[in-house]
Structure 1
Amino acid sequence: MADSYRGDKRITKSKTNLKKALFELLAEKEWGKISVQDITQRANLNRTTFYQHYQDKDDLLHQNMRDMFEAMKEDIFSPLDIDCSGEKPEAYWYVLRFYQHLQQNCGDFAIIINRRYELNIKELLNDFWNDSFLTGIKKTAAADTDRSVPLDIQRRFVISAFAGTAAWWLENGMPFPPELMAESMIKMIQKN
């Protein structure tokens, strides 16, 4: 049992080092110029260790991004432990958690936002936004959804607003606190 635990810790440490190396290199070089050897050298691991966990550098990137998005969704949509009957709508607290999570992990998310076209991650981003939108609809009062506007149009509008504003916020050094971002987003979404 102890050997298994030690092995699990070693795997976790290797994957953590590979992720860290990947994001350090992304901050320095173009995606096309980063090789598996660059990543393993930066992580201080050998290529065999890399290939035990990932097929190639794209697999490393996509697995880590899926993990990042899953962690974000868990942070955003974990059960609320506040009284939502107050002055702020329930959706505010989920939006606030979104911006707080971005702020706490701004280094990696800023790299992703800045390099999103080069990294060819459109499908991953779309999956994250669509899942988050549907989860948000389920978590908040679905009865508040305007039935006169098709859900697909509402989804596109909300996703565009959140994705664009989050990208702007990160690219500009988070000029406003998460609380103001959440409050502003809720006000604008409610007006529309």
Structure 2
Amino acid sequence: MPKTDRRIAKSQSAIKSAVLALMSLKNFDNITIQDIADEANLNRGTIYLHYTDKYDLLDKMIEEHIHELRVLCHVASDMTFQEGNYIWYEYFEKHKLFFSTMLDSKGAPYFRKQFLELVVEEFGVEVNTSTGKNKGLHEDVILQFFAAATVGAVEWWFKNGMPVSARIMAEQTGILLDRNFD
């Protein structure tokens, strides 16, 4: 895999930081490429070298984080929910600006949808409706319920200023998940 030129990486980082800073202030639809360029201290042309438009930029940012969360799910596949959740909450904490912005009302509803779909997909391997506590329940209902709860807990955590540590969030949501999955 070829190494990315440091100037390109620096420009892309400035662009991403700029769009997040702007999204914390106003709705994404009201942000222009010129706003992003001004915030990043770059020319508009530099942004267009890397992204087709602001929607392409946002899509790529979301794709990056969804991909990383998927990788973390695979890393955590042999762990308990508590251990696996901690990996996620550490990642959320490390990328606080992105996640808090995306999950905020001014953020991107598309991100929440992608995040929910990822959680449904990843929980899908854990659901067993043929035996145990969930016997006879509809798999899609279970998946939607726990995915919505998981995403909601993450939203609550960010919207309330992360009032408990990542470790506590991971442990307590892990306990709740462990209680319901065989």
Normalised by the length of structure 1, the TM-score is 0.77
Provide the C-alpha distance between the structure 2 equivalents of 1:106 and 1:34, rounded to a whole number of angstroms. Answer: 21
Matching residue within 12, 15, 21 for 2:12: 15
Aligned pair in 2 of structure 1 residues 41, 19: CA closer, same or farther (>3 Å)?
same
8 Å CA contact 1:37–1:47 kept in 2: the answer is yes
Provide the C-alpha distance between the structure 2 equivalents of 1:148 and 1:22, rounded to a whole number of angstroms. Answer: 46
Matching residue within 170, 176, 179 for 1:188: 176
Where does 1:42-121 land on structure 2 (aligned, <5 Å)? 42-78=39-75, 90-115=80-105, 119-121=108-110
Quote the residue 2:37 is aligned against.
40
8 Å CA contact 1:21–1:39 kept in 2: the answer is yes
Provide the C-alpha distance between the structure 2 equivalents of 1:127 and 1:46, rounded to a whole number of angstroms. Answer: 36
TM-align CA RMSD: 2.8
Query: For structure 2, which runs of at least 5 residues remain unmatched after alignment?
Result: none
Aligned pair in 2 of structure 1 residues 191, 78: CA closer, same or farther (>3 Å)?
closer
Aligned pair in 2 of structure 1 residues 186, 79: CA closer, same or farther (>3 Å)?
closer
Quote the residue 1:137 is aligned against.
126
After superposition, the C-alpha distances for 1:95-144 in whole angstroms (9 at most, x for unaligned) are: 1212222122222211111136x63415433433333334x639xxxx97
Confirm whether residue 161 of structure 1 aligns to residue 152 of structure 2.
no
Provide the C-alpha distance between the structure 1 equivalents of 2:26 and 2:52, rounded to a whole number of angstroms. Answer: 21
**How many pairs are equivalent?**
176
* Percent of paired sites with the same residue: 25
Aligned pair in 2 of structure 1 residues 123, 177: CA closer, same or farther (>3 Å)?
closer
Confirm whether residue 28 of structure 1 aligns to residue 25 of structure 2.
yes
Q: One-letter code of the match for 1:75?
A: L
Normalised by the length of structure 2, the TM-score is 0.81
